[in-house]
Amino acid sequence: MTELLIREGPPDSSGTAPGSSVALPTPPTRRERLHRVLRFLGHRPGLVVASLVVLLVLVAAFAPGVLAPGDPNIGVVAEKLRPPSAAHLFGTDYLGRDVYTRVVHGASLSLQATVIAVAVALLVGGLLGLLAGFVGRWVDEALMRVVDVLLSIPAILLSLALITALGYGTVKVAIAVGVASVASFARVMRAETMRIRRSTYVEAARSVGTRWYVTLWRHVLPNAAGPVLVLAVLEFGLAILAVSSLSFLGYGAPPPAPEWGSLIAEGRNYLATSWWLCAMPGLTIAATVLSVNRISRALDGEWSGAR
Amino acid sequence: MTGTLPRYLLRRLGTAVAVLWAAYTVSFVVLYLLPGDPVTTMASGGLDGEPLTPEQIEALKARYGFDKPLIVQYGTRLWAALHGDLGASIQNGQEVRSAILEALPPTVQIALGGLLVAVVLGGGLAIAATYTSQRWLRQLLMALPSLAVSLPVFWVGLMLVQIFAFGLRWLPSVGASGFPALVLPSITLGLPMGALLAQVLAKSLTTVLDEPYVQTARAKGAGRAAIHLRHALQNAAIPALTVLGYVAGNLLAGTVVVETVFTRPGLGRLTVQAVGVQDIPLVQGIVLFASLVFVGVNLLVDLIYPVLDPRIAEGVPATS
């Protein structure tokens, strides 16, 4: 599924940058490089907005006090269920807690889970793929069969099975989501490793007597990492969705903690009367995922295409 | 030609059986190896009520076979599963198989509804986006799928309830009675899958429309709609069919969230509840059932390929 999401850029994306195919004879100076980055961004206002959103979310995750100084778990009961206004940007919930403050403080929990999930997938999947691609033969066969099987169990069910075994909590949900996406990382990493293993410079390294682990570390890994990192950025968006789904189902942190998914689950009981309780956290998740996907698309093709 | 089709089928069938066996093994490893054993997990506070005495725990273990070595458990359970016996639920002792079959009908309803929504929306969007000659309209249409896959499914469901059930009062918000109750869950389930389908179909339609035989058809004077729907669509459908198989195989997983949002009975709710009380045999049964569906659907897709493109059965790699 993941590779299908990367591909489709807007049809004009490669054509917008003028002089895209000009080969530069000398390495660019710092000013030229800066100029090129600015021009690249200037043609893509959506990408600039996406970067800003991600920046905001990162600030919310690491320094929530900057964006929302209040306490997310303390509310004024007299001001319960107020619609969005200047005082309460996202309104207030059934205990009078400010929903905006809760969403901002929830970012750290939700992002923490997402980072763990992506890290697990990247490390485990990357290592398996590297091993399969580099060693080849029966190791490759065996590992790839395991990957096939992991792909034939729907991701959310695999996560749920892991949660059954591990129990509840933010970190456990994160691990469950990460393990469920190990397979796609292993596939991409294996393909890249196989491609590079057959390249001339690896052959050259071997012919001058470089040890296999040096070859692996110095030549194969740095060159294979690119597509896998792009996949990791994309997986970040998918992991936010998966983590918030599981948190919505109630497998995340216990109630007072403001995880994005559980915020929506709480708001569900007041759906008929107080639309903002669900709408606002949901819009935050959607904006984050959209932005991350936009950035991964830029990393995947447009930047190298526009150079 | 006569020898190739049965061999193609046989190979696919062999793969399917191997994947099922492996799925069984993976779910066994995940569920039975990780935390000790299910009875201890359950007795240590998974359920309400007083904790069990060690003797009671031993008796329970013996009843479910958890006191035996793991490899023996694996063997006996796999043997039983081959005969269609998936064991009994830990919460109430009900047969896992009958629990799944009981929960299935309402889930099949929304799964089929979701598939219909996905095909109609996804196919329609892709065809419209590649057919229109308006550049802005095409860009707008092609932006929709990537928007749709970025939205949390449960949130989309809740917003649909908000708008169509509470706001406009057109449709019921929860429950499983009658056709109107099916509409919103089906849309919620079908939307992300339709988006995926639209992306793939639009891409392969664009590729196919550039091919020489389309030019030939155009040169011979075939109408634009005829070329689009009759000549191009058939060849463009093959990658889309792969995605459709993937999507249909994942429908059951989608119902986990959708049935919770709409408070419908069904397999998804059964899953959530089984995970909630750590009912390991039931969870394993559901995982197995889901991969059975996944493998079955993909087998079906493999059978349809040669109909669309006879080269596939002869071992020529499919053009995608």
Q: Do A157 and B287 touch (CB under 8 A)?
A: yes
- pLDDT category, B37, cuts 50, 70, 90? low
Question: Minimal Cα–Cα distance from B195 to chain A, Å?
Answer: 10
Residue A243 contacts by C-beta under 8 Å, 6 or more apart in sequence?
A: A110, A113, A114, A117, A173, A174, A177, A252, A261
Of these ranges, A204-208, A272-276, B161-165, B196-200, the one predicted with the greatest mean pLDDT is: B196-200
Residue B222 contacts by C-beta under 8 Å, 6 or more apart in sequence?
A: B231
Helix (H) or strand (E) holding B227: none
Residues of chain B with pLDDT > 90: what percent? 1
DSSP-derived 3-state class of residue B166:
helix
Q: Give the residues across from B88 on adjacent strands.
A: B95
Read off the amino acid at residue B32.
Y
Neighbouring C-beta atoms of residue A302, cutoff 10 Å? 20
The pLDDT of residue B203: 85
What are the φ and ψ backbone dihedral angles of A67, each rounded to 5 degrees? -85, -35
DSSP-derived 3-state class of residue A23:
coil
Does pLDDT of A105 surpass 60? yes
More confident residue, A96 or A263: A263
DSSP-derived 3-state class of residue B300:
helix
CA-wise closest residue to A35 among A46, A299, A24: A24
Q: Do B252 and A248 touch (CB under 8 A)?
A: no
B275 vs A164, A282, A286: nearest CB? A164
Number of H helices, E strands in chain A: 16, 0
pLDDT digits (tens, 9 = 90+) for B75-90: 777 777 777 777 777 7
Q: Do B158 and A264 touch (CB under 8 A)?
A: yes
Q: Which residues of B touch A289 (CB under 8 A)?
A: 150-152
Neighbouring C-beta atoms of residue A49, cutoff 10 Å? 14
The pLDDT of residue B176: 57
Identify whether the C-beta of residue B214 lies closer than 8 Å to the C-beta of residue B236.
no
Is residue A142 less than 8 Å (CB to CB) from chain B? no
Structure tokens at B186: 């089906």
Q: What is the ipTM of this complex?
A: 0.79
Of these ranges, B6-20, B107-121, B124-138, the one predicted with the greatest mean pLDDT is: B107-121
Q: Which of A2, A147, A150, A157 to mutate to test the interface with B (most CBs of B within 10 A)?
A: A157
Residues of chain A with pLDDT > 70: what percent? 84
Q: Do B283 and A278 touch (CB under 8 A)?
A: no
A221-248 and A260-267 helices, crossing angle to 10°: 20
A165 vs B31, B257, B276: nearest CB? B31
Q: Report the distance separating Cα B37 and Cα B44, nearest Å.
A: 11
Residue of B nearest to A168 (CA): B276
Q: Which residues of B touch A148 (CB under 8 A)?
A: 19, 22
Q: What is the mean pLDDT of residues B140-167?
A: 83
pLDDT digits (tens, 9 = 90+) for B40-54: 655 554 444 556 667
Q: Report the distance separating Cα A169 and Cα A262, nearest Å.
A: 12
